[in-house]
Amino acid sequence: MHHPWLDPEVTALGRLPAYASMRRSEDMMIQLIDGWRFQLKSHASDVPSDWHTKETKDWSEVNLPHLWTMDDRFDEDSPIYTNVVMPFRHEPPELPQKNPTGLYRRTINIPNHWTQDRIVIHIGGVESFFFLYCNGQQVGYAKDSKLPSEFDLTNYLNEGANELALRVLKFSDASYIEDQDHWWHGGVHRHVYLYKTPSVFLQDVFISPDFETLTSSGRLAAKIRIGGRDRSSLAHTIEVQLRSPKGLKLGKPVRKTLKKDQFSYVTGKGPIVELTLPKRKVKPWSAENPTLYQLNVSLINDSGQYLESFDFNVGFRRVEINNRELKVNGATILIRGVNRHDHNPDSGRVLSRAQMREDLLQMKRHNINAVRTSHYPNDDAFYDLCDELGLYVVDEANIEAHHHYARLGDEPVWANQFLTRGQRMVERDKNHPSIIMWSMGNETGFGANHMAMTGWIRQYDPSRPIHNENAICEQGVGRMWDDNVHGTDVICPMYPSVEDIIEHAKHSDDPRPLIMCEFAHAMGNSCGNLKEYWDAIETWHGLQGGFIWEWKDHGIRAEANGIEYWAYGGDFGEERHDLNFVCDGLCWPDGTPHSSLIEYKKVIQPISVTRIGNHYRVTNKHDHIDLSGYSVDWVLLVDGELKQKGRLPSFSTPPGHYEDFTIAVDKVPKHGEKVLRVEFSLKKATSWANRGHIVAWDQFVLNSGPHPRKRKPIVKALNEQAAGQLNSDDLTITFDSSSINSITFAGYNIIAAPPLLNFWRAPIDNDGIKGWSGQDHKALGRWLRYGIDRLQWQHELEFDGQRKLVQRSRGKCQGGLLETISTYELDLNQLIVDHEFTVPLELTDLPRVGVRWQLEPGFEELAWYGLGPHETYEDRKTSGVLQIHQSTVTEQYVPYILPQEHGNLSELRWLSVNDGRTSLKVSGNGRLQGSVSHYSQETLTEAFHTYELSLSPYTWLCLDSMQRGVGGASCGPDTLDKYRVRHGKYRLSYGMEFTS
How far is the C-alpha of 667 from the C-alpha of 644, rounded, in Å?
Answer: 9
Closest among 736, 936, 925 to 852, alpha carbons compared: 936
User: At residue 54, what is the residue type?
Assistant: K
Percent of the chain residues topping a pLDDT of 90: 89
For residues 280-307, average pLDDT: 97
HEC per residue, 101-161: EEEEEEEEEECHHHCCCEEEEEECCEECEEEEEECCEEEEEECCCCCCEEEECCCCCCCEE
Q: How far are the Cα atoms of 783, 819, 844, 938 from residue 790, in angstroms, in the given order?
A: 10, 15, 17, 10
For residues 908-927, average pLDDT: 94
Residue 547 has pLDDT above 60, yes or no: yes
Q: Which residues of 114-140 are buried (b: 16+ CB within 10 A; e: fewer)?
A: beebbbbbbbbbbbbbbbbbbbeeebb
Q: How far are the Cα atoms of 320, 430, 440, 467, 489 from residue 458, in angstroms, in the given order?
A: 13, 12, 12, 11, 11
For residues 97-124, average pLDDT: 96
Q: How far are the Cα atoms of 855, 930, 959, 962 from residue 927, in angstroms, in the given order?
A: 23, 10, 11, 9
CB atoms within 10 A of CB 892: 19
DSSP H stretches of helix in 525-573 = 530-539
What are 235-256's pLDDT values in tens digits? 899 999 999 999 999 999 999 9
Residue 198 has pLDDT above 60, yes or no: yes
pLDDT of residue 73: 95
pLDDT of residue 703: 87
Backbone dihedral angles phi then psi of residue 10, each to the nearest 5 degrees:
-100, 130
- Which residues, 6+ apart, have CB-to-CB distance to 844 below 8 Å? 980, 981, 982, 983
Mean pLDDT of the chain: 94
Whether residue 65 is preceded by a cis peptide bond, meaning omega within 30 degrees of 0, is yes
Q: How far are the Cα atoms of 406, 742, 910, 994 from residue 921, in angstroms, in the given order?
A: 59, 17, 7, 7
The distance between the two most distant Cα atoms of the chain, rounded to a whole number of Å, is: 116
Q: How confident is the model at residue 1 (pLDDT cuts 50, 70, 90)?
A: confident
User: At residue 385, what is the residue type?
Assistant: L
For residues 155-180, average pLDDT: 96
What are 366-379's pLDDT values in tens digits? 999 999 999 999 99
The domains located in the chain, with CATH, are 4-197 (2.60.120.260), 201-314 (2.60.40.10), 335-554+584-602 (3.20.20.80), 606-703 (2.60.40.10), 755-793+830-995 (2.70.98.10)
H/E stretch holding 407: none
How far is the C-alpha of 962 from the C-alpha of 956, rounded, in Å?
Answer: 17
> pTM of the predicted model, to two decimals?
0.96
pLDDT of residue 718: 37
Q: Which residues of 954-966 are buried (b: 16+ CB within 10 A; e: fewer)?
A: bbbbbbbbbbbbb
246 burial type by CB count under 10 A (0-12 exposed, 13-18 middle, 19+ buried): exposed
More confidently predicted of 831 and 231: 831
H/E stretch holding 517: strand 514-519
Angle of helix 448-460 relative to helix 415-429, nearest 10 degrees, comes to 30
Backbone dihedral angles phi then psi of residue 25, each to the nearest 5 degrees:
-75, 155
CB atoms within 10 A of CB 522: 30
pLDDT of residue 489: 97
pLDDT of residue 851: 98
For residues 854-881, average pLDDT: 98
Give the helix, strand, coil percentages of the chain, each rounded to 5.
15, 40, 45
Contact assessment for residue 489 and residue 322, using Cβ atoms and an 8 Å cutoff: no
Percent of the chain residues topping a pLDDT of 70: 95
Residue 717 has pLDDT above 70, yes or no: no
For residues 385-407, average pLDDT: 96
How far is the C-alpha of 808 from the C-alpha of 797, rounded, in Å?
Answer: 6
DSSP string over 829-898: TEEEEEEEEEE-GGG-SBSEEEEEEEEPTT--EEEEEEEESS--BTTB-TT-EEEEEEEESGGG----SS
Backbone dihedral angles phi then psi of residue 467, each to the nearest 5 degrees:
-120, 125
Contact assessment for residue 85 and residue 180, using Cβ atoms and an 8 Å cutoff: no
pLDDT of residue 262: 55
pLDDT of residue 364: 99
pLDDT of residue 260: 61
- Which residues, 6+ apart, have CB-to-CB distance to 516 below 8 Å? 492, 493, 494, 495, 496, 501, 545, 546, 547
Q: How confident is the model at residue 667 (pLDDT cuts 50, 70, 90)?
A: confident
Q: What is the three-class DSSP state of 436? A: strand
H/E stretch holding 91: none
Contact assessment for residue 369 and residue 337, using Cβ atoms and an 8 Å cutoff: yes
Catalytic residues: 443, 518
Backbone dihedral angles phi then psi of residue 603, each to the nearest 5 degrees:
-65, -40
Contact assessment for residue 650 and residue 619, using Cβ atoms and an 8 Å cutoff: no
Contact assessment for residue 134 and residue 158, using Cβ atoms and an 8 Å cutoff: no
Contact assessment for residue 875 and residue 979, using Cβ atoms and an 8 Å cutoff: yes
How far is the C-alpha of 515 from the C-alpha of 334, rounded, in Å?
Answer: 9
Contact assessment for residue 696 and residue 603, using Cβ atoms and an 8 Å cutoff: no
Instruction: Indicate the DSSP class of residue 588.
Output: -
Q: How confident is the model at residue 234 (pLDDT cuts 50, 70, 90)?
A: low
What are 486-503's pLDDT values in tens digits? 899 999 999 999 999 999
Residue 753 has pLDDT above 70, yes or no: yes
Q: What is the CA radius of gyration of the chain?
A: 32
DSSP string over 932-979: EESS-HHHHHH-SSGGG----SSEEEEEEEEE-----GGGSPPPPGGG
What are 10-68's pLDDT values in tens digits? 999 999 999 999 999 999 999 999 999 999 999 999 999 999 998 888 999 999 999 99
User: At residue 32, what is the residue type?
Assistant: L
For residues 544-571, average pLDDT: 97
How far is the C-alpha of 664 from the C-alpha of 661, rounded, in Å?
Answer: 10
For residues 771-785, average pLDDT: 91
Q: What angle do CA 152, 155, 158 make, to 5 degrees?
A: 115
Q: What angle do CA 302, 308, 313 make, to 5 degrees?
A: 130
How many residues in total does the chain contain? 996
Instruction: Indicate the DSSP class of residue 6.
Output: G
Residue 546 has pLDDT above 70, yes or no: yes
Closest among 598, 600, 524 to 555, alpha carbons compared: 524
Closest among 385, 390, 348 to 369, alpha carbons compared: 390
CA–chain centroid gap for 660, Å, is 35
Instruction: Indicate the DSSP class of residue 8.
Output: T
Instruction: Indicate the DSSP class of residue 398.
Output: S
Whether residue 388 is preceded by a cis peptide bond, meaning omega within 30 degrees of 0, is no
CB atoms within 10 A of CB 13: 14
